[in-house]
Amino acid sequence: MREHSHFSDSLILKTERLLLKTPQLSHAEALVDFEKRNREFLKPYMATTGEDLFSVYEWEKRLEKWQVEQQHSQSMRLLFFLKGSAHRDLVIGSCHFTQCFRGAFHACYLGYKIDQSHQGYGFMFEGLQHAISYLFDDLNFHRIMANYLPTNLRSEQLLKRLGFMVEGYAKNYLMIDGRWQDHVLTSLTNAHWQEEPHEPI
């Protein structure tokens, strides 16, 4: 029996080619730059596409909210940076684990996005492998859920490669790009999950 660790607000995970860092207020401009570079590329997959994505002030507010969530172990977000890059402050991707539940569930939802110019090089797979290992091994989560649009073949292949299993198909599941869209529902479970001391559900 073990106790789960709390989320770190200054986490850095290192992979072969990447640094995965928890977002800080100082990343606001880099996140605006990421959204501007990928505005049209990500639009078909985004729930939010408003102009606030291109405002440093709005990003600072969002980052403050994320920090509070992380301090309360409600969510964990990671920004992807290339190791040894001349553009070391350039965000090339991100992932987030949200709606984190403990109690009898020990589960969360996964989301992610990659810069268009860095797609197809295995960066998202590499980053998610390490992030998921951290969530399972260090934070002792039992289940991660991830859902994707049926037309998003790259996400389908990525999740399958990571070991996610299809569990269902939800009609009109999320409002993406301004309309309700179907999603394929998948999950990955932690084969090495350890029972923890009982806590209120």
Residue-wise pLDDT tens digits, 132-145 = 999 999 999 999 99
Inside any domain, residue 200: no
Q: What does the pLDDT average to over 55-65?
A: 92
pLDDT for residue 48 is more than 80: no
- Which pLDDT does position 1 carry in this prediction? 43
Say which residues have a Cβ less than 8 Å from residue 175's Cβ, sequence separation at least 6. Answer: 47, 181
Residue-wise pLDDT tens digits, 14-31 = 999 999 999 999 999 999
Inside any domain, residue 103: yes
When mean pLDDT is compared across 31-40, 46-55, 86-95, 192-201, the lowest value belongs to 192-201
pLDDT for residue 60 is more than 90: yes
Inside any domain, residue 195: no
Q: What does the pLDDT average to over 4-15?
A: 79
- Which pLDDT does position 142 carry in this prediction? 95
Q: Annotate 58-72 with b (16+ C-beta within 10 A) or e (fewer).
A: ebbebbeebbebbee
Domain that holds residue 66: 12-189
- Which pLDDT does position 49 carry in this prediction? 61
> How many independent structural domains does the chain possess?
1
CATH number for position 100: 3.40.630.30
What is the four-CA torsion angle of 59, 83, 109, 101, rounded to 10 degrees? -90
Residue-wise pLDDT tens digits, 91-114 = 999 999 999 989 889 999 999 999
Amino acid at 111: G
Inside any domain, residue 196: no
Inside any domain, residue 201: no
> 107 - beta bridge partners?
101, 143
pLDDT for residue 161 is more than 60: yes
Do 187 and 144 form a contact (C-beta atoms < 8 A)? yes
Confidence of residue 201 (pLDDT cuts 50, 70, 90): very low
pLDDT for residue 32 is more than 70: yes
Inside any domain, residue 198: no
Of 123 and 192, the one with more pLDDT: 123
Inside any domain, residue 7: no
- Which pLDDT does position 10 carry in this prediction? 80
